[in-house]
Amino acid sequence: MLDAIFSVLMALWNQDFSVLQNPQSAVLIYAVVGALIFLESGFIPAAPFPCDSVVVLSGTLAAVGVLDPIIVLLVIIICAACGTWAGYLQGKWLNRLPKVQGWVNAVPSNRLAQVDILLGKHGLVALFSARFIPVVRSLLPLMMGMRANKISKFHYFSWLSAILWTLLLCSFGMLLPLLPEQVSKYVTIGLMAAPMITLAVAVSSFIFIKVRKSLHKPNHKVEALDK
């Protein structure tokens, strides 16, 4: 059983249609795709998973008859929304820790109010946009769990953004078989590489900012001593 799951996982990672087009693998594909989407949507350590390309590939498999379109859409939507809910619950739990609560209390009340207003007004746009960005996809629900007070609004934004994200990427995947084989191949490679490129850019930017700040600190100290 574990060997079969690992085989499907590797086939999804490598876009190996020879393995994935086996009708006997359909149930395992649903399970593996659902697990990947759930973990990547709610847990930051799972951020490197190429979930965008997995959703597109699921649409392609539905178009060629390997997967049922309705079932795969429901699996992805439910797992994406539930993963986001898991991230939200983590934020709620972290918010109870004294150290984390101290950080939140240190933020000016007017800034916290602005965050609440932005989440209320732009929750759908924020969650929908975050679903296309690794790390942010699982980080934003966690931050919402720490700040958002209206659970009903969160669920509304979470489920609606999950539906829009899934329909967009699956529909794109269903169109891929209609493209010339060479074009389809390059598009698929680009989709697989996009999450890793985005993640690399985000990590590089974070390191650059940290290094820049550390280089500026000694200069400030010298200026203070001169005065």
pLDDT at 103: 56
Domain coverage including residue 194: 2-226
* C-alpha to C-alpha distances, 59 to 67, 68, 115, 168, nearest whole angstrom: 8, 9, 36, 10
What is the tally of structural domains in the chain?
1
The predicted pLDDT at position 177 comes to 77
Please give the pLDDT value at position 198: 56
- Exposed, middle or buried: residue 220 (CB in 10 Å: 0-12, 13-18, 19+)? exposed
Q: Which of 35, 38, 30, 134 is nearest to 80 (CA)?
A: 38
Task: Count CB-CB contacts under 10 A for residue 80.
Answer: 27
Low-confidence ranges of the chain (pLDDT < 70): 1, 13, 15, 23, 47, 99-124, 148-150, 179, 181-203, 205-206, 208-210, 216-227
For residue 221, the model assigns a pLDDT of 46
Write down the pTM of the prediction.
Answer: 0.73
The pLDDT of residue 74: 96
Give the three-class secondary structure for 90: helix
3-class DSSP assignment, residue 70: helix
Positive or negative torsion for Cα 145, 52, 129, 68: negative
